[in-house]
Amino acid sequence: MQTDEFNSTGDAAKVFNMGEQEAFDFFFRQYYTSLCFFANSILQNEDEARDVVQDCYVKLWNGHTITERANTVKSFLYTAVRNKCLDFLRRKKVMKASEIQLIKAGSESDFEYFDEVAFAEMIREIVRHIEELPSTMKKVFKLYYIEGKKYRQIAKELNSSPDAVRQQKVRALKIIRQKLLLFLTFF
């Protein structure tokens, strides 16, 4: 089973047939990156965000069987991460005006929450599409956009020419844009 194909309708039955450890691993690979991004958007601290997300996965593991809740795991994780982040902020008493708005009840903070979830999901999709690129294209894309290297540095590292690197980057962008356009039409 490919982990990228999970949707709440058809593949929930496949997750149900997995063992607990395999289902947990599936959900960890599926949502960890986007949950860390989501937590970091609230906490503004990557290390604390990772700790919060890991705590939420522990809570998922220690809870009722994962396979019986396959349809609600995503919602559970986002809600648990949000609540844990807010608890963390309360304990630290480092609430800024924007963090206080997240705690307030009301439609405005609810919209902010759902905007953050949507953005985190879009980041998850981007990362997934980057990982699906052919190996050279993926390496060029990561070196250029994530590590911030120049065409000449990448060309030297890959034993290639700067023009070939630029072409690989352009092709990768085109592929990712096409896939994201499909994602955004359904989102």
Q: What is the pLDDT of residue 14?
A: 57
Compute the mean pLDDT over every residue in the chain, rounded to the nearest whole number. 76
**Which of 34, 9, 4 lies closest to 122 in space, CA to CA?**
34
**Which of 2, 37, 60 lies closest to 118 in space, CA to CA?**
37
93-129: burial string, b at 16+ Cβ within 10 Å, e else:
eeeeeebeebeeeeeeeeebbeebbeebbbbbbbebb
Q: What is the pLDDT of residues 100-109, one digit of tens each?
A: 555 554 445 5
Q: What is the pLDDT of residue 96?
A: 47
Query: CA angle 136-137-141, nearest 5°?
Result: 120
How confident is residue 29, by pLDDT bands cut at 50, 70 and 90?
confident
Q: What is the pLDDT of residue 65?
A: 58
Q: What is the pLDDT of residues 127-180, one digit of tens each?
A: 888 888 999 999 998 888 878 889 999 999 999 999 999 999 999 988 888 887
Q: How far apart are CA 81 and CA 60, in angstroms?
A: 11
Tokens 């540095």 found at: 153
How confident is residue 184, by pLDDT bands cut at 50, 70 and 90?
low
Say if residue 45's pLDDT is above 80. Answer: yes
Q: What is the pLDDT of residue 76?
A: 85
Q: What is the pLDDT of residues 1-25, one digit of tens each?
A: 333 334 444 445 555 556 677 877 8
* Token representation of residue 52: 């919060």
Q: What is the pLDDT of residue 64?
A: 58
Q: Quick one: CA torsion of 157, 154, 132, 145, rounded to 10 degrees?
A: 140
Say if residue 71's pLDDT is above 60. Answer: yes
More confident residue, 27 or 133: 133
How confident is residue 94, by pLDDT bands cut at 50, 70 and 90?
very low
More confident residue, 124 or 161: 161
Q: Which domains does the chain have, with CATH numbers?
A: 1-123 (no CATH), 133-187 (1.10.10.10)
Q: What is the pLDDT of residue 4?
A: 39
Main-chain dihedrals φ then ψ at residue 45, nearest 5 degrees? -155, 115
* Token representation of residue 103: 């705690």
